[in-house]
Amino acid sequence: MAKEIKCPECGEWTSDNEATCSHCGANLHPDRSEEIKRMLSFKPLDIPLIPINEDDHWFLKGVKMVLRTGQAIFIAIGSAIVYIASGAAH
Ligand SMILES: [Zn+2]
């Protein structure tokens, strides 16, 4: 017998094998789909710059500054590629 779970939307019992509730069609595994959505919408340009704390050691600050510069260049190149790619698509 298939395992039954309670629908978070309508409260009816429905098969856990289904992706959606057989009563109201609600997504029974929102956590799973949210995770997939996050992975699909992942953009390297959204990576925040490395934070530099005021109380970091001067050497650590220097290293972070270099890494941030590298990140900025990477983001600039990425933006340029996206710009060129979207421009070429027209
Ligand atoms: Zn339901």
DSSP 20-69: B-TTT--BS-HHHHHHHHHHHT--GGGPPPPP--TTS-HHHHHHHHHHHH
Average pLDDT of the residues in 35-44: 71
Spacing, Cα 41 to ligand 1 middle (Å):
27
Spacing, Cα 7 to ligand 1 middle (Å):
5
The more confidently predicted of residues 69 and 50 is 69
Spacing, Cα 14 to ligand 1 middle (Å):
8
Spacing, Cα 79 to ligand 1 middle (Å):
43
Domain hosting 59: range is: 44-88
Domain count, the chain: 2
Do 51 and 17 lie in one domain? The reply is no
Do 48 and 83 lie in one domain? The reply is yes
- This prediction has a pTM of 0.38
Do 27 and 54 lie in one domain? The reply is no
Spacing, Cα 3 to ligand 1 middle (Å):
15
Do 25 and 60 lie in one domain? The reply is no
Is residue 10 predicted with pLDDT exceeding 90?
Answer: yes
Average pLDDT of the residues in 61-71: 91
